[in-house]
Amino acid sequence: MKTAHTNKHTGEIDDGVVRDVLSLIETQKEDEETRLSQLQTDLDATSTASTNLSRIRINEIVESSVPKKKRRLVGLGRRARSVPPSAP
């Protein structure tokens, strides 16, 4: 999303809504990583397990943070469906 909305000449994001959304997503991602890190520390101080967020979790954060307009995610368009709409 950041790459798609960055002005190639200035290197900045021109759309204020997209800029705010990206800032919010980055903050939520950092908060989630901090929470996971603290949880991991509480569970096992000697563990070296990764606290990186999965791509699925990052996508969930984005979908919950991005405003929707006409059933589209602002800056992203329509969400791809994993199941066809005609499926029961």
pLDDT for residue 87: 46
pLDDT for residue 76: 67
| Greatest distance between any 2 Cα atoms in the chain | 50
Q: Is residue 30 situated within a structural domain?
A: yes
For residue 62, count other CB atoms closer than 10 A to its CB. Answer: 19
Question: Are residues 1 and 18 in contact, defined by beta-carbon separation less than 8 angstroms?
Answer: yes
Q: Is residue 52 situated within a structural domain?
A: yes
Q: What is the pTM of this model?
A: 0.54
Residue carrying structure tokens 């999303």: 1
pLDDT in tens, the chain (88 residues): 777 778 788 888 887 888 888 888 888 888 888 888 887 776 665 555 555 778 788 778 878 877 777 777 776 666 665 544 544 4
Q: Which domain holds residue 20?
A: 16-73
The secondary element (H helix, E strand) that includes residue 23 is helix 16-43
The helix/strand/coil state of 17 is helix
How many domains are contained in the chain?
1
Q: Is residue 88 situated within a structural domain?
A: no
Query: What token pair was written down for 37?
Result: 């890190």
Query: At residue 57, what is the residue type?
Result: R
Q: Is residue 1 situated within a structural domain?
A: no
